[in-house]
């Protein structure tokens, strides 16, 4: 999962701000999203005593994020990641 994320996200930002644009949300997401998984999963298991209910959060949240990114992120196949004017038009 981590290998293609850098290349995938780098296509959406001009080179001048690429590192900040990719690094900040990535690390916030890993810290909060990844840090809360054990807490929420443990709490769900202790409340329901069901492994299925405990695993709903770590399965549903990434599935929803995948579907949102699949339908809401623009296609960048024909856009040069080295020209800022083309990168900016990908969002339009």
pLDDT tens column, 7-37? 777 777 777 777 787 788 888 888 888 888 9
Question: What total of structural domains would you count in the chain?
Answer: 1
**Domain with 65 in it:** 2-89
Between CA 2 and CA 21 the distance in angstroms is 16
pLDDT, tens digit, 9 for 90 and up, residues 39-79: 999 999 999 999 999 999 999 988 998 899 888 877 777 76
Q: Tell the burial category of 12 from Cβ atoms under 10 Å away from its Cβ (0-12, 13-18, 19+).
A: middle
């Amino acid at each position: 999962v981590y290998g293609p994320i850098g290349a995938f996200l780098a296509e959406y930002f001009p080179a001048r701000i690429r590192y900040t644009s990719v690094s900040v949300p990535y690390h916030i997401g890993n810290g909060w999203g990844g840090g809360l998984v054990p807490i929420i999963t443990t709490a769900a298991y202790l409340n329901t005593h069901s492994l299925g209910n405990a695993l709903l959060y770590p399965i549903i949240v990434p599935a929803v994020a995948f579907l949102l990114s699949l339908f809401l992120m623009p296609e960048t196949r024909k856009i040069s990641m080295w020209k800022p004017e083309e990168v900016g038009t990908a969002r339009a």
